[in-house]
Structure formats: structure tokens, C-alpha cells
Amino acid sequence: MSQPSDPTRTELPIDWQQLRQLSDGNEEFELELLNIFVTEMTLRLRQAQQAILHSQSDALAHLAHQMKGSSGNLGMGEIVRLSRELEAAAQTQNWEDAANQVEKISRSLNFIQNFLQP
């Protein structure tokens, strides 16, 4: 698998051992899972931004919960933590903190996306 020089595989916020176990060691499948994850998370982040804009705490909490689950399945502990914080911000209607968490998740996602680009 070709890898760009920046970021390196070891710098990514991914538990590669967990992902390898999920993919049964199939690197092509790992990349497919990561691409699907990036696509779905990009959509959820846009939806989260809209929920924040319209002060929709229930919708935002639901999205954060989904993000937490999907990132946990792929071993992305940092995104799990940020999603948990986003969910808490939604439940308390702390819109500033929610927007900050969405931005942090977006940066982590961009890091992964840069790794996946040929």
C-alpha cells in the first residue's frame, strides 16, 4: 500500500491493531472501511453544524452518538473522545463547546483523509 509522507500511518488517530482485527488483516478492506468512515463522518459533521446552527440539541446528540459508535468500531479513540464531548455539549446545549468539538473532529478527519489520498 502506498503511503504519503505526511501524515504517517503511525501518526494517525487510529488503533491499527483493532482495525487489522476487524479487517482480518486485509489492508485493502481497511482502506475501504476508512474511506467509508470519512464519507459518512463528513456528512454527519455537516449535519452537526446545521443542528448547532438551528439549536437542535436532540439531533446533535443523536449525531454525536452515531459518530462515537462508528469511530469506536474502527479504533479511533481520539474521535470517540471528541464525539463523547460533543454529545455532552449537545445535552447541555453548550453551542460554543459543540462547535469547538465539531471543529476538532473535522481536523482529525482531515488528517485521516489526507492519509487516504493517493
- Read off the pTM: 0.85
105 within domain boundaries? yes
Average pLDDT of the segment spanning 39-65: 98
Average pLDDT of the segment spanning 59-70: 97
Average pLDDT of the segment spanning 7-33: 82
1 within domain boundaries? no
The residue behind cell 437542535 is: 56
The residue behind cell 488503533 is: 15
Selected residue with higher pLDDT from 99 and 16 = 99
66 within domain boundaries? yes
25 within domain boundaries? yes
The pLDDT of residue 79: 95
2 within domain boundaries? no
The pLDDT of residue 15: 86
Which cell goes with 46? 455537516
CA dihedral 61, 57, 43, 31 (to 10 degrees): -20
96-111 residue pLDDT tens: 999 999 999 999 999 8
CB 33 within 8 A of CB 74: yes
Residue 113, pLDDT > 70, answer: yes
Selected residue with higher pLDDT from 9 and 77 = 77
- List CB contacts of 80: < 8 A, sequence separation 6 or more: 68, 71, 72
Residue 3, pLDDT > 80, answer: no
Q: Containing domain of residue 76, as a range?
A: 9-46+55-116
CA dihedral 40, 46, 48, 49 (to 10 degrees): 160
Alpha helices in the chain (DSSP H): 16-23, 27-53, 57-73, 77-91, 95-116
**Residue 99 is part of a domain; what is its CATH number?**
1.20.120.160
Report how far residue 78's alpha carbon sits from residue 15's, in angstroms, rounded to the nearest whole number. Answer: 10
What's the total number of domains in the chain?
1
